[in-house]
Amino acid sequence: MSMMEVTLSIVQFSLEVSANQDLEINIRQQAIQIISWLAKFKASFLKKHKLVVPILQVMCPLLTETANEDEDSDLAADRSAAEVIDTMAINLPRHVLAPVLEFASVSFHHINPKYREAAVTSLGVISEGCCEHLKDKLEDCLKIVLEALKDQEQMVRGAASFALGQFAEHLQPEILSHYANVLPCILNALEDPSDEVKEKSYYALAAFCEDMGEDILPYLDPLICKLVMSLQSSPRNLQETCMSAIGSVAAAAEQAFTPYAEKVLEMMKGFMVLTSDEDLCARARATEVVGIVAMAVGRARVEAILPPFIEAAISGFGLDYSELREYTHGFFSNVAEILGDSFTQYLPHVVPLVFSSCNLDDGSAVDIDDADSVDNGFGGVSSDDDVNDEPRVRNISVRTGVLDEKAAATQAIGFFALHTKSAYAPYLEESLKILIRHSGYFHEDLRLQAVISLKHILTAVRAIPPTHADVQEKQKDVLDTVLNIYIKTMTEDDDKEVVAQACMSVADIVKDCGFAAIEPYILRLAEATLVLLRQESSCQQVESDGEDDGDIDHDEVLMDAVSDLLPAFAKVMGSYFDPIFAKLFDPLMKFAKSPHPPQDKTMVVATLAEVAQEMGAPISAYVDKIMPLVLKELASSDATNRRNAAFCVGEICKNGGATALKYYGDILRSLHNLFSNSESDDAVRDNAAGAIARMIMVQPQSIPLNQVLPVFIKALPLKEDHEESMPVYSCICSLLLSSHPQILPLVPDVIHVFAQVVVSPDESDEVKTNIGKAVSHLISVYGQQMQPILSALPPAHANALATFASRR
- Of the listed ranges 58-67, 530-539, 790-799, the least confidently predicted one is 58-67
Which residues are 368's β-sheet partners?
Answer: 393
Q: How many CB atoms lie within 10 A of CB 260?
A: 23
Is residue 408 within 8 A of residue 400, CB to CB? The reply is no
Instruction: Encode pLDDT of 484-520 as tens digits.
Output: 999 999 999 999 999 999 999 999 999 999 999 999 9
For residues 539 and 532, give the distance between their C-alpha atoms in angstroms, rounded to a whole number: 9
Q: Is 773 exposed, middle or buried (0-12, 13-18, 19+ CB in 10 A)?
A: middle
**Phi–psi pair at 393, nearest 5 degrees:** -80, 130
Q: Is 808 exposed, middle or buried (0-12, 13-18, 19+ CB in 10 A)?
A: exposed
Instruction: Encode pLDDT of 91-143 as tens digits.
Output: 889 899 999 999 999 999 999 999 999 999 999 999 999 988 888 888 899 99
pLDDT band at 747 (very low <50, low <70, confident <90, very high): very high
Helix 444-462 / helix 496-513 crossing angle, nearest 10 deg: 10
Q: In this structure, is the dihedral angle defined by the CA atoms of residues 239, 240, 242 and 243, taken in order, positive or negative?
A: positive
For residues 49 and 522, give the distance between their C-alpha atoms in angstroms, rounded to a whole number: 45
Burial 568-585, CB ≥16 within 10 A → b, else e: bbbbbbeeebbebbeebb
Is residue 664 within 8 A of residue 631, CB to CB? The reply is no
**Percent of the chain, pLDDT > 90?**
71
Boundaries of every domain in the chain: 729-808
pLDDT band at 73 (very low <50, low <70, confident <90, very high): low
pLDDT band at 808 (very low <50, low <70, confident <90, very high): low
For residues 208 and 249, give the distance between their C-alpha atoms in angstroms, rounded to a whole number: 9
Contact partners, residue 296, CB within 8 Å, separation at least 6: 250, 251, 253, 254, 255, 257, 261
What is the pLDDT, as a whole number, of residue 542? 61
Long-range contacts of 478-482 (CB under 8 A, 24+ apart): 478/428, 478/432, 479/509, 479/513, 479/517, 481/432, 481/436, 482/454, 482/455, 482/457, 482/458, 482/509
- State yes or no: pLDDT of 368 exceeds 70: no
Is residue 267 within 8 A of residue 228, CB to CB? The reply is yes
For residues 63 and 56, give the distance between their C-alpha atoms in angstroms, rounded to a whole number: 11
Measured in whole angstroms, the distance separating CA 272 from the mean position of its chain's CA atoms is: 32
**What would the 3-class secondary structure string for 167-182 be?**
HHHHCCCHHHHHHHHH
Say what the pTM is: 0.86
Is residue 114 within 8 A of residue 78, CB to CB? The reply is no
